[in-house]
Structure 1
């Protein structure tokens, strides 16, 4: 994170790159860790499970552990059964040279659309089949550290959020959202933040990670919801007019949103526009509704639902059809399903540093609003297992997940035992798994107009220079960490 006028330098160091957490150093289990309530044979990664999940929960794990013995760990996807049992683990770091795992979206055919950053400082997106544990197709973009890409228009196009895109030679920041046409293999539309925001009116460093736009969704034809995290805003862009049709939040007004992640658009039964957001730096999940029904009126938004309590940098919240909310509690290394009143009914741990979670077959978006559920107000989390306070239990869980590759029952060939012995690093889309499906994979890389600031150059892949400094502090045992 850049030092800004609203935070003294000391505070900026304490929350380097959006991090302000203290992570327990390996040691004895927490004295107040509660017993685990579970069903089936979930193993050491399950927390509270008083109500089995309705389907498989897919968790995207970035792979970074803070603390004295911390550091980069392998990225992966974890498929978790209804009772907290491990169904499969997709070792994307080993299979495709993924450094950072980011967004994962369920597809209508039961597969997953995955966004990741490879060691070669490229963005890799691919369709993943959980049943075969293989890719159906993949596409590589010459873009570093993209957090979100979505298939849109019946899979004919890909909508991407392109951050960290400063063009030093042109002295121009090209952070943008854009649509890539899979048929023509060209960008058919793009929207640059620099055309709509005045850098001098914002507190962020224009020449660094200016917007950190971490999410973009199509919410209807021609309307895209984007999350410029560093601006403390969620915005809706009108593709036809190129105007910002809606803004929730304001740069520096952190009581509304504070460096949020992954806003989702909901609509109440009476048509009221609603956003549910991981309000990350405020350690809460918030839901805002606009009873005026006017997306252009940013002042019309009211906070209708807040989930607080034992959350540490939550970065995603999906409203399920049941009315419960699936929460990605990133720095507590877990995913929770909570009732509208805050009761935890399902909990699973996936060290280290979870980024996103989705429920199959329920999609990422949808479900009733807090107003529909008559559950407005502030609710505190209760009934969770507190396993994040037990370092030994987290380490045991991590070891279990590291030792599963493919289906947990062992019927799928291990991703670590690929006979080719090669990892495509996201640069060769004609991998064995793609060929085995009989489908043609995209092969063309698409260039970036931005700079080539490699996130791996700091020695802490995917983190900027200040974050590397934070990592050094961590290694020295200061207990400081970096939020991403």
Structure 2
């Protein structure tokens, strides 16, 4: 029987449950000390790096303003993890930082989007001054490469024609001397309009373009789940790794690198972001075969991987806010935490692309976990521990796959919006509290309507 005392008891239980679920985030907020949060700090340094490592940190910008607790910056790190310098953008408004490439003259080529446009500039790391800059009417450009002779390769994503409802996503060559685009390649000329669900304002999300020699380009249309090699003269796609929605091969990848083994086998090293791993594929008998996978136990949205001459791989682990150098079997030998959202990392001495051997050449093919990390809590995220706890809790149960997928989605989207003092578990319990509250309010409204209807019927009688 629905009595006032029973309703009061239920409300009391619900309130206790909601307060209990909110308690962890309240405690975190009250005890949070910004000084204890990792911002720029070395992790495990087992082997010193060869010279400096430069890291581009994307940061978080909302309505044109950088969140001061989630800054965008360039960071230079010494051999043993010492901070050499930082560069914060204060020219032309708040900005993100994406691609950063060491140039032959020792300077850095940087792609820095801001609201509605992208500034590309050459930075002198000694003076932290811009040698030159050019602002392009291109939104959210993630990658630019120097092609020589004052030419730039630019991955032009989000090129949307609203009036025609057609995507103009493209790759262009821009000549700084003549201030003109001298070559263009459009994705719509080579992919059906219904790819990835059809044309939209962010259709291809092409996040990388590399010149790999012999007049060929390596492209990464992230939303198409594939890496492409394009012949610049013919415009043809001559190599293709992956296919749209075939997530067993690639899922929303970033920054593929082209390698060639000692016996001439074409090889691709890819940050397989959506699958939270780094993978390597070799071309065998006309087919791409996976030869290496590392990190699915801990990586969270990795967006860059470079093979170093010593055989190790430098990985940008974006949503764990760190850069790690790992051996072919996944052991961390160098680690640096750089909040908020590192995008690209380059070991300056080796240029901007992979220069090391393939996994096959090192006889290290296989699948490996990442081990030996300092597992610091970067920027208050706690994401490394969160991923591990979720996987351990639901391992070998029917909920293993859906819970791992849920953890991945939570860690992909929430770090940008979650208060810096709140851990993933705090957010999880807070969301549960909100869910309980909504169900309770809904039940109260339904019960209230029933009581009003019952009272009305009694009055009529």
Query: TM (normalized to structure 2)?
Result: 0.73
* Alpha-carbon offset, residue 284 of structure 1: 0.1
What is the distance in 2 between the residues matched to 1:340 and 1:216?
A: 25
Aligned match for 1:211, one of 201, 204, 209: 204
Q: 1:187 deviation in Å?
A: 1.0
| Corresponding position of 1:409 | none
Cα 1:133–1:232 change in 2 (3 A) is same
Which residue of the partner structure matches residue 305 of structure 2?
317
> How far apart are residue 95 of structure 1 and its match?
4.2
The residue that corresponds to 2:289 in the other structure is: 302
**Runs of 5+ unmatched residues, structure 1:** 1-23, 30-41, 395-468
Find the counterpart in structure 2 of residue 385 from structure 1: 374
Q: Could you tell me how far 1:137 is from its partner in structure 2?
A: 1.2
Taking the TM superposition and a 5 Å limit, the aligned residue runs for 1:249-288 are 249-288=242-281
Q: Residue 171 of structure 1: CA displacement?
A: 2.5
Q: CA RMSD in A?
A: 2.9
SS at match of 1:391: coil
Write the distance in 1 (CA, Å) between the matches of 2:162 and 2:267: 38
Q: Distance in 2 between matches of 1:203 and 1:183?
A: 37
Partner of 2:169: 175
Map residues 55-204 of structure 1 onto 2, 5 A cutoff. 55-64=51-60, 73-92=70-89, 94-119=90-115, 121-152=116-147, 154-200=148-194, 202-204=195-197
State the secondary structure of the residue aligned to 1:361: helix
CA drift of 1:71 comes to: 5.4
Please state which structure has a larger fraction of its residues in helix.
Answer: 2
In 1: Cα distance, 2:255 partner to 2:126 partner = 27
Of 239, 252, 273, 1:246 maps to 239
Highest Rg: 1 or 2? 2
Structure 1 residues 7-39: Cα deviation after superposition (integer angstroms, max 9, x where no partner):
xxxxxxxxxxxxxxxxx979769xxxxxxxxxx
- Offset of 1:118 from its aligned partner? 2.3
Q: Compute the displacement of 1:64 (Å).
A: 2.9
Equivalent residues in 2 for 1:21-60 (5 A)? 45-60=41-56
Query: What is the alpha-carbon distance in structure 2 between the residues aligned to residue 246 and residue 146 of structure 1?
Result: 24
TM-score between both structures, scaled by the size of structure 1: 0.69
Could you give the per-residue CA deviations for residues 179-230 of structure 1, whole angstroms, max 9, x where no partner exists?
1112221111101111111122x23341231100011111113201100000
Distance 2:225 2:179 in 1: 33
- Match status 1:232 vs 2:232: no
Q: Across the two proteins, how many residue pairs are aligned to each other?
A: 359
CA contact (8 A) 1:277 1:286 kept: yes
2: CA distance, partners of 1:310 / 1:319: 19
Q: What is the CA distance between 1:388 and its match in structure 2?
A: 3.0
Structure 2 CA distance for partners of 1:219 and 1:336, relative to 1, 3 Å: same
Mark the runs of 5 or more structure 2 residues left unpaired by the alignment: 1-23, 30-37, 384-412, 432-461
